[in-house]
Amino acid sequence: MAKNTAIPYKIYLKEDELPRAWYNVRADMRTDHRPLLNPATRQPLTVADLEPVFCTELAKQELNTQDRFIEIPEAVRNFYKMYRPSPVVRAYCLEQALHTPAHIYYKYEGGNTSGSHKLNSAIAQAYYASQQGLRGVTTETGAGQWGTALSMACGYFGLDCRVFMVKCSAQQKPYRKAVMETYNATIVSSPSDTTAVGRKMLAANPDNTGSLGTAISEAVELAVASEGYRYVLGSVLDQVLLHQSIIGLEAKAALDAYGVQPDIVIGCAGGGSNLGGLMAPYMGDRLAGKPAPYFIAVEPSSCPSLTRGRFAYDYCDTGHVTPLAKMYTLGSGYIPSSSHAGGLRYHGMSPILSQLYHDGYLDEARSVRQTEVFAAAELFARVEGTLAAPESAHAIRVAIDEALKCKESGEAKTILFGLTGTGYFDMAAYIAYNSGTMQDHVPDDEELAKGFATIPQVE
């Protein structure tokens, strides 16, 4: 069933071709994004402001606008070698199933036990915490992929890992919890009685099943209150996009080796870490005025921060304990419907991606309905084998749509998309799709207005 071509199904870089430095796209941006602000003083945050919450080295990375490349520490590179370089896969069977002249490639990040690209940043963050002599880190997790990745990373460096898991997720996904515990992490259902925030929430409503916003607040409180602990986050932040640039650097090196230049680069976008990482080196070309692909961010119709949100300063969490960031946002009070793509249910968007979109370098944002997303995921699974995470399947949907456009136009465009993870822990969503009970949701203007009303007035 293969086409007769010199390009293999899977392109692997050699171990010694693993990138030695992350690429900091922010250093090349024509217009830097607006700084993070202290929510109380509304003054730009400094490294000193961030140090009580973040590891010092990560605080520096967060504010680094100068260095285009930041060396990957050797210990992190060695961990990377256990599951990287990850392959760029030519989706020959998908091309054939679609009868498209397009050439479809995907960068596959699901081949590690965390099941997603989250491990790329988790291991870096755990390393810096370890180097600083910390005892442990705290974080929150919703769907569980970030919590799993961080648990693996902390297990490797012998760090204590405290994960606040949204209570309803912890109840619905006991096996996700068990995976994290296998890596020696401590999982606390949030809201919990271990923090002041949690106790307050429980006093108001003992049956509170939690939210990501509350879990973030608890994790930050515990980190700040505990000797030798810091808080870590799996997306949105500049430091995370920096670490995730490994995805794009590898993808570009692998495709360059075969003389392949993508015409279109597609990634799903929740907080923005995956797309930001995948497109980083290609965006570097764009910013340098070189030929570059057309970039598409894909988001769920139920949480359309880029396509229908406002470009404004907003809180990064619903609990308002985090800094204010200038970004595309639906408002921290926006409540997305119960989409199954948990990783894309974030009200805001990476400040870097937001600025690039605002300035027209990130060419397009497109929202898709989840039943269309799962239809694409099932086709993909049957012809390409891999069962994708619901988040990743958003990118599959648009890759297929673009390939079908090529079929109509007869153009042999080259499409690259990010397949960020696997769906083994998301089978409830596949069951809902297969049984016909899955619902699509497109918020009406009234719903959006309620969210917008929670955006603070800052400028």
Q: Which is nearer to a copy of itself, 243 or 347 (CB)?
A: 243
**Measured from the CB of residue 249, what is the shortest distance to a copy of itself in angstroms?**
18
Cα separations in angstroms, 394 against 326, 347, 376, 390: 25, 17, 8, 7
Site string for a copy of itself, 391-430 (x = CB under 8 A): -------------------------------x-xx-xx-x
Task: Choose which of 172, 184, 194, 261 interacts with a copy of itself (CB under 8 A).
Answer: 184
Tell me: does residue 183 bind a copy of itself (CB under 8 A).
yes
Show Cβ contacts of residue 425 under 8 Å, excluding neighbours closer than 6 positions: 115, 143, 144, 173, 175, 176
128 binds a copy of itself per the rule CB under 8 A:
no
- Interacting residue with a copy of itself among 152, 247, 278, 365 (CB under 8 A): 152
Stretch that binds a copy of itself, among 25-33, 159-167, 175-183, 294-302 (CB under 8 A): 175-183
Binding of a copy of itself at residue 384 (CB under 8 A)? yes
Q: Which of 385, 408, 446, 457 lies at the binding interface for a copy of itself (CB under 8 A)?
A: 385
How many CB atoms neighbour CB 182 within 10 A? 13
Tell me: does residue 15 bind a copy of itself (CB under 8 A). yes
Q: Identify any residues that bridge with 364 across adjacent strands, giving them in sequence order.
A: 296
Phi/psi-derived region of residue 436, left when phi > 0, alpha when psi is between -120 and 50, beta in every other case: left
Q: Judged by CB, which is closer to a copy of itself: 79, or 361?
A: 79
Our finding on whether 99 is near a copy of itself (CB under 8 A) is no
Q: Under the phi-then-psi rule, with left for phi > 0, alpha for psi from -120 to 50, and beta for the rest, what region is 411?
A: beta
d(CA 11, CA 277): 18
Distance CA 439, CA 445 (A): 19
- DSSP, collapsed to helix, strand or coil, labels residue 103 as strand
If binding is defined by CB under 8 A, does position 2 make contact with a copy of itself? yes
Tokens of residue 457, six digits: 């007035």
Decide: 293 and 416 in contact? Cβ < 8 Å. yes
# residues contacting a copy of itself (CB under 8 A): 49
Among 10, 20, 42, 200, binds a copy of itself (CB under 8 A): 10
Least CB distance from residue 42 to a copy of itself, whole Å? 43
> Are the beta carbons of 91 and 243 closer than 8 angstroms?
no
Kindly tell me which residue out of 41, 48, 99, 174 binds a copy of itself, with binding defined by CB under 8 A: 174
Instruction: Work out whether strand 103-108 and strand 136-141 pair parallel, antiparallel, or are unpaired.
Output: unpaired
Please count the CA atoms within 13 angstroms of the CA of 380 that sit on its side-chain side. Answer: 31
Q: Which of 82, 257, 449, 458 is close enough to bind a copy of itself by CB under 8 A?
A: 82
Sign of the alpha-carbon torsion through 2, 278, 15, 118: negative
First to last CA, the chain: 58
Tokens 């259902």 belong to which residue?
189
Q: Does 383 bind a copy of itself (CB under 8 A)?
A: yes
Interaction of residue 69 with a copy of itself, rule CB under 8 A: no
- Contact between 9 and a copy of itself by CB under 8 A: the answer reads yes
User: Is 316:322 a contact under the CB 8 Å cutoff?
Assistant: yes
Contact region for a copy of itself (CB under 8 A) — 36-44, 232-240, 284-292, 378-386?
A: 378-386
Neighbours of 265 (CB within 10 A): 29
**Please, which residue, 26 or 103, has the CB nearer to a copy of itself?**
103
**From the list 89, 124, 126, 362, which residue makes contact with a copy of itself (rule: CB under 8 A)?**
89
What is the Cα–Cα distance from 164 to 146, expressed in whole angstroms? 11
Q: Is residue 381 a contact point for a copy of itself (CB under 8 A)?
A: yes
Footprint on this chain of a copy of itself (rule: CB under 8 A): 1-2, 8-10, 12, 14-16, 75, 78-79, 81-83, 89, 92-93, 111-113, 115, 152, 155-156, 174-175, 178-179, 181-184, 378, 381-387, 422, 424-425, 427-428, 430-431, 434
